[in-house]
Amino acid sequence: MRLEYFQLIDRIVDLNLADRTISSEAMVPTTSTIFEGHFPSYPLMPGVLLIEAMAQTSGWLVVALNRFARMPFLAAVKEAKLRTFVTPGQKLTINAHLAHDGSGYAITEAKIKCGGKPICDATLTLRVLDFPSAELGQRMREIADRIGLQVEAPANG
């Protein structure tokens, strides 16, 4: 996780365009100023960042499915459940499934596990819009390369 850049996903470990699923990994850093405040002497990964990790993983799935034609933005979070605490140094596995591909929006169902144990889950709504700038599209491709998102791969690849 690059918490200071709000880039929470370290690596895409699986992408299945045919099934419209994605799996990513994210290592919670052992140190961060966030943990100095949340909470003093009792560091916990904030729940909103867990939701953001699910949103980012969902976003990469949508980007992969539309092959960087458009950009997803988080619009709604439903049925979010934060089931247990996450502490510094834990490795998270984040899975998302595209439940619905609407006109200008997408619905995903996402969940996080740690060591096979359910951490949290939610249903997310993403607005899917044209890239507001060519530069953003290029920067997103660079991030995708860094985390191993293979968008040029054929379906099911």
Q: Which two tokens stand for residue 100?
A: 């619905």
Smallest distance from other proteins to CB 73, Å: 12
105 scored as a contact of other proteins (CB under 8 A): yes
69 scored as a contact of other proteins (CB under 8 A): no
127 scored as a contact of other proteins (CB under 8 A): yes
Q: Which two tokens stand for residue 15?
A: 């992408």
Among 102, 118, 132, 157, the residue binding other proteins under the rule CB under 8 A is: 102
76 scored as a contact of other proteins (CB under 8 A): yes
| Choices 52-60, 79-87, 98-106, 113-121; region in contact with other proteins by CB under 8 A | 98-106
Ordered strands of the 105-114 beta sheet: 11-16, 21-27, 91-101, 105-114, 117-130, 70-82
Smaller CB distance to other proteins: residue 64 or 107? 107
Smallest distance from other proteins to CB 133, Å: 19
| DSSP at 71 | E
Furthest CA-CA distance within the chain: 48
Q: Which of 27, 38, 75, 97 is catalytic?
A: 38
CB of 123 within 8 A of CB of 109?
A: yes
Residue 97: active-site member: no
Name the nearest CA neighbour of 46 among 86, 93, 3. 86
Place of tokens 């470990």: 13
Residues lying near other proteins in the complex (CB under 8 A) are found at 75-76, 100-105, 107, 125, 127
Residues with catalytic roles: 38
